[in-house]
Structure 1
Amino acid sequence: MTTDNGSSGDIGATLRVAAAQINTSVGDIDGNARLIEEWISLAQDQGADLVAFPELTITGYPPEDLVLYDNFIAANKAALNRIAAGVGNIVALVGYVDSEVTESGTKLYNAAAVIHNRKVVTTYRKIHLPNYGVFDERRYFTAGNECPVISIRGIKVGVNICEDIWEPIGPSEVQCANGAQIVVNLNSSPYESGKQGDRVDVVTDLSRRNRVFTLYTNQIGGQDELVFDGGSMLAAPDGELLGTAPRFEQSLLVADIDVNALEDSRTKHQSFAVPQDDLDKIGQPTTIEIVQTPAKSRPALQPLTVHSLDRLEAVYRALIVGTRDYLKKTRFKKVAIAVSGGIDSAIVTAIAVDAIGAENVVGVALPSRYSSEGSVTDAEDLCSRLGVELWNIPIEPGHSAFEEMLSEAFEGTAPGLAEENTQSRIRGNIMMTIANKFGWLVLTTGNKSEMATGYATLYGDMAGAYAVIKDVPKTLVYELCRHRNNRGPGSPIPNAIIDKPPSAELRPDQLDEDSLPPYDQLDRVIHMYIEERMSPDLIVEKEQALGKEGAAESVIRRIVRLIDINEYKRRQSPPGVKITGLAFGKDRRLPIASGWQK
């Protein structure tokens, strides 16, 4: 049903479509507009009749409370008009914030402008507004009520946005009932491990049940906690996935679509089986004619390819992109990392080097009286392999000074956790002072297992600007270290770091397992309680089913209590890359003061 992408095809019988998978920056309206104009030109060079950009391309996604400022909305509309003024024969679908003044006030819409021949021909306003997880769209936007179909040389194209295709009956069904042969869906869908498979299922199912081609375009890049991985795609009316764009990189997915073969199956069009009353509840169909001059010739295209990434490589790339773009979009160039010789700081250092280059990373060893000799030599080995400069700043003078300052106040008490955590807070102060002095950012090294249970020190190892592995469980940290070594070049993370038992080294012979259960048990319980939102009783049942491998009930209830009582710590932690189905941050919003007993 598509022409051979290796040939020019029958121009009169096809529509050449392009998905522009680009990296926008929230709030950089002028920069985003220039990027859109650049990629429209690239699509024109490929002979595209239509090019689709991601959701809210002009503002960047998610713009959050920026949309509540009238000058922001005005600037985004002005940028749309500038873009439109430069668009000729090609049809460009561009995401922006539309607005409308009503008697009850100004309404905002998550919208897609259809641009052709130097003007906005029509606008689609998103109908299904997600309001779960990291999404807050009902806080800002009003749902649209029209389902436009644009007719380009008689080829009918339905346009909608992101969540609209995740509903069993949505704008696509209305548009297909109105004759749409192609559905184009604009997205800003954030990465989480395994989600690309879900997207493929949604897109191919939409095509299959509606007998329609579906072009899905998604953005890439990092924005605070979120990373967007692209994976733009084209699906055929039989549900076949015809091709995808590479993930985590800017790309233009271009394909020729021949809709003639569709006509034989239109009577089997699934949307016609949807009751009209159900379609009417979604929105009203409209059709807009676009007079486009067909190209006399156009370049041959490369064959479509379905790109894939294994689980660990996808996670690792997400961490790289999130770190790189956080620095780029906050306009910082250099980072400092407290390199302890442990596995968490090792993977964070490797990610930072891969994201921004070794010349922009400074490691800081901060040994104490309890640090093993191996922790210092392992830190030196790691930084040497990665080409990172390492500063060695022993904390003993500060530690002794703190003990002396507090001796009178603490007189008559037994040394304990407060004294141990003093070391971590000294380190946090040193790291923040270094960053302050040189205008760098501190990358923290705490993982999800530690963030969940509070096995971290406020104003100590939690001090910093960005928590790279905040959503990475400890067991996954080990997997990523081995993956990074296999990824090459070389093996930057010494086996001595991977193999040694983890320790905070805040007292003699300390090991993590003294305070926490085995990490395989801990991470399972955290996953079930945080991401699956299971009750402690259900978690106990699940773990008991594992026999000897399962966590004891007392261990489970202790983990749950640790998670609950450390909510206040997590509220004060830096943002970090979201990679799981539910990360600490925008994803999880629980009260700190709560009387709920589980």
Structure 2
Amino acid sequence: MKIALCQINPLIGDLKGNSEEILKLYNQSAELGADLVVFPELSLIGYSPLDLIEKREFRDAVKSAANYLASRTGSAGLIFGSITEDEDNVGTNLFNSALLCFDGKIQFVQHKTLIPNYDVFDEIRYFESAKDVFTFNFRDEVLGISICEDIWNDKDYWIKRLYENDPVEKLIQRGASLLINISASPYSFGKRLARKEMLSTLTNKDNVKLAYCCCYGAQTEVIFDGASMCFDNKGNLVKLG
């Protein structure tokens, strides 16, 4: 499978501009033969949107923009980050989600499980945690899709973990052959090396491939360093953005 990782710099709240960038790069990648085109966490709306996502009119506009992007897809898969809602009237009713689209439709949605609430992160104020994780068969791979923090909880890498739950481990147990992680991972000194070591350890011990896509640029005081990566199932870094 040929995968295009599109590490863009989305502008918070600019649904029109972000949609145009996503669609442009999706079409270019598909024309070059990509089977799957991947964008970062919350790439449709920008990270972090904060209280903007509490506005009803913005939520409705996001839903329309996501459906529009899906409607413009062909046989190549498109994965992008956005918000989605439920209507159970419990919690915030909002999820930080990865949407997989092809053949003109949203085919699969995976919500983020591990919701960070430290340092620059205040996601627990806005987002609910996924109730479960699921794999998805696409082309000749079984995709296990996760979002940023979800992949930072490997028990074989961290001496002390922040969370009891490990959604990526569940995806592997459920047969994932290719992990996809979409991220908005802030830059800090030494983090790029730590990220590479962590992902290399995970892919090697679990004998699974990984495509990791992160945004770049700056939003307010937060800097994102991109550094999207692909690993083979032996933990070898095969591509670095």
- 1:178 maps to 2:174: yes
Aligned equivalent of 1:209:
205
TM-score, scaled relative to structure 1: 0.38
CA contact 1:165–1:202 (8 Å) conserved in 2 = no
**Cα deviation code 1:108-132 (max 9, x no counterpart):** 0000111010000110000001110
Secondary structure of the 2:37 match is strand
* Paired amino acid for 1:103: N
Q: Which amino acid aligns with 2:37?
A: V
Matched, 1:132 2:118: yes
Q: Which residue of 2 aligns with 1:23?
A: 9
Between the aligned partners of 2:199 and 2:90, the Cα distance in structure 1 is: 37
Aligned amino acid, residue 42 of structure 1: Q
What is the aligned partner in structure 2 of residue 70 from structure 1?
56
Find the counterpart in structure 2 of residue 163 from structure 1.
Answer: 149
Contact 2:92 2:127 (C-alpha < 8 Å) held by counterparts: no
Please, what is the CA RMSD of the aligned residues?
1.2
CA deviations on 1:76-102 (whole Å, 9 max, x unpaired) are: 111001101100001111100011111
In structure 2, how many angstroms separate the alpha carbons of the residues matched to 1:103 and 1:212? 38
Instruction: For residue 193 of structure 1, report the CA deviation from its aligned partner.
Output: 1.7
Q: How high is the TM-score relative to the length of structure 2?
A: 0.93
Name the residue aligned to 1:483.
Answer: none
User: Identity over the aligned pairs, expressed in percent?
Assistant: 35
Between the aligned partners of 1:35 and 1:70, the Cα distance in structure 2 is 24
Equivalent residue in structure 2 for 1:146, among 129, 132, 154: 132
Alignment-derived partner of residue 199 in structure 1: 195
* Structure 2 counterpart of 1:368: none
Report 1:359-438 matches (<5 A).
none
Structure 1 segments unaligned to the other structure (5+ residues): 1-14, 246-598
Structure number with greater CO (CA < 8 Å, separation at least 6) is: 2
**Are 2:216 and 1:220 aligned?**
yes
Distance in 2 separating the partners of 1:39 and 1:223: 21
- The equivalences for 1:168-317 within 5 A come to 168=154, 170-245=166-241
- Residue 414 of structure 1 corresponds to which residue in structure 2? none
What is the match of residue 31 of structure 2? Answer: 45
Aligned length: 231
Q: CA deviation at 1:42?
A: 1.8
Question: Where does the alignment leave 5 or more consecutive residues of structure 2 unmatched?
Answer: 156-165
Alpha-carbon distance in structure 1 between the residues aligned to 2:200 and 2:60: 37
1-side partners of 2:212 and 2:90: how far apart?
Answer: 35
Q: Counterpart of 1:210 in structure 2: which amino acid?
A: D
Indicate which of 49, 56, 61 corresponds to 2:47.
61
Greater Cα radius of gyration, structure 1 or 2: 1
Q: Which of the two has greater helix per residue?
A: 1
Q: Which has the higher strand share?
A: 2
* One-letter amino acid of the counterpart of residue 84, structure 1: A
**Cα distance in 2, alignment partners of residues 100 and 147 from structure 1:** 16
Amino acid corresponding to residue 24 of structure 1 in structure 2: P
Give the distance between the partners of 2:205 and 2:62, measured in 1 at CA: 36
- Contact 2:92 2:128 (8 Å CA) reproduced: no
